[in-house]
A and B are shown apart, each in its own frame.
Chain A
């Protein structure tokens, strides 16, 4: 357990500097945009919304680095793939939680002082509950970490050419499914699928909102990616 704790701390603390730089740059740019737009519109417009999208990009990069850097370093230090996987999952959770907390606090504060600023969560579900806002963001970031972790593991395993073919295949499937929904499936199937998706995002058919469904959906999708990652990493070799 002590070894796992050391690995988690290593993975997490070696990312905090990058996280600090990310937020510094993000808020410097945002402040600049806010200032320019505020001057040009006499304070009527704010210029930028839903800064969480930048965090999604950042956590995706961390998902990739979770393999690229830490896998090598921990393997060098005698860790097994099972330990590396679980320490990476813990690091993702800690990092997603920390970033979600920062984004929730700053996003809600910005909205509090200026109504024209909308957070990603707030624009979908409103501003009533800061805790569910944090949980929702954590689950969202975690899902993206897991997705990109799986992607980089698969790319590493199968090589460039096969990865490109998989990418083309996935794009093809997305286009096919879209076409099926537009031109093949009956209206009933399409509306049921839409209803299910809306439910998964917490928007119930009776008009109410369930705040935990989207969190659960993100966690389930993240867990599926996680299971995929575990399956791949168990036989991943150092290259």
Chain B
């Protein structure tokens, strides 16, 4: 099967359960938004997929082969991480050179071309780059690699608006030219909503949902009106949250839209991805990472 399959993954750190029996699948040829709040368990799961840490239970399969300590999947997966794992004393161009030696699918010319587009000085050492340019450097490597599965962990960290736009357009162009799987782990929902096809939502170490963006937006809507009427409408529906202002109430619903009762003063509006995310992941702070 051409997919990253995550089966019943559990990972704990002392008393904290970072991932709790997580099962999810990322199929080939799609762009996924791997969404979750800070500390939801995104990076932990990515680190397990990339064989950087080990799961306590469960397994990760890449195209049917176990991902743990398997050099056979080396040319299939690349993970651009938020953490700085590169040699800080090496120059950017040397990093490109070494990546070309590590991966058969690395396109050095493309990396140099992208560096020009992002105005990245390839003669600079990694440690001399600003936080934003360190992210750009990592993005360029990920975009220049022709592997079936590319994971971006918080890819636009420290990037200005122009660079973020450039990254998203390059990502789409790459996807058009050479279909593969891109998984974008982020908590910046609005930014990626125009790029991703499918959403995997994680919170407190559990996968809350996995659906296509279109279906999700079709199923998610808000109902507003007088509180009593709204409560009445919501009975028996999958309400994921409320907002209240005086006697007015807005309910956020996930499910099939049904016609409003005749003479009702209620209003139905579409719900964007960010609102859906906020309501599904609830209030309060902190997660498990």
Contact = CB atoms under 8 A, between A and B. Distances in A.
A80 B74 CA distance: 9
A94 B191 CA distance: 49
Q: Interface of chain A, helix or strand or loop or mixed?
A: helix
Given A3-B71, A3-B74, A78 B102 contact: yes
Contacts of A73: 85-87
A34 interface: no
Q: Interface of chain B, helix or strand or loop or mixed?
A: loop
A10 B96 CA distance: 12
Interface in A175-233: none
B51 A75 contact: yes
Nearest to A238: B52
Contacts of A75: 50-52, 85
Contacts, number: 62
Given A73-B87, A75-B52, A81-B69, A9 B101 contact: yes
Contacts of A80: 51, 69-71
B152 to A, nearest CB: 14
Contacts of B186: none
Given A10-B101, A83-B71, A235-B54, A78 B78 contact: yes
A14 B87 contact: yes
Looking at B70, B71, B73, the one whose CB has the most chain A CB atoms below 10 A away is B71
B71 A79 contact: yes
A75 B50 CA distance: 8
B19 to A, nearest CB: 14
A3 B52 contact: no
B168 interface: no
Interface string A1-24: 001001101100010000000000
A80 B79 CA distance: 14
B99 interface: yes
B81 interface: yes
B69 A82 contact: yes
A79 B69 contact: no
Contact of B103 (A10, A78, A82, A234): A78
A3 B103 CA distance: 8
B133 to A, nearest CB: 18
Nearest to A82: B69
Contact of A10 (B54, B83, B98): B98
A115 interface: no
Contacts of B53: 237-238
Nearest to B101: A6
Contacts of A83: 71
A220 to B, nearest CB: 28
Interface string B92-135: 00000011011100000000000000000000000000000000
A77 B97 CA distance: 13
B170 interface: no
A83 B73 CA distance: 13
Given A77-B102, A77-B103, A72 B77 contact: no
Given A14-B87, A82-B69, A3 B102 contact: yes
Contacts of B288: none
Contact of A78 (B77, B90, B98): B77
A37 B44 CA distance: 60
Contacts of B50: 75, 78
Contacts of B272: none
A83 B81 CA distance: 21
Given A76-B81, A77-B102, A69 B87 contact: yes
Nearest to A73: B87
B12 interface: no
Given A3-B71, A78-B50, A79-B74, 19 more contacts: A3-B102, A10-B98, A14-B87, A14-B89, A72-B86, A76-B86, A77-B98, A78-B74, A78-B77, A78-B103, A79-B102, A80-B70, A80-B71, A83-B71, A234-B69, A237-B52, A237-B54, A238-B47, A238-B85
**Interface pairs A-B: 5 shortest CB-CB:** A76-B85, A238-B52, A6-B101, A237-B53, A77-B102
Interface of B: 47, 50-54, 69-71, 73-75, 77-79, 81, 83, 85-87, 89-90, 98-99, 101-103
11 contacts: A6-B98, A6-B101, A7-B102, A75-B50, A78-B50, A78-B77, A78-B102, A79-B71, A80-B51, A83-B71, A238-B47
Interface of A: 3, 6-7, 9-10, 14, 69, 72-73, 75-83, 234-235, 237-238
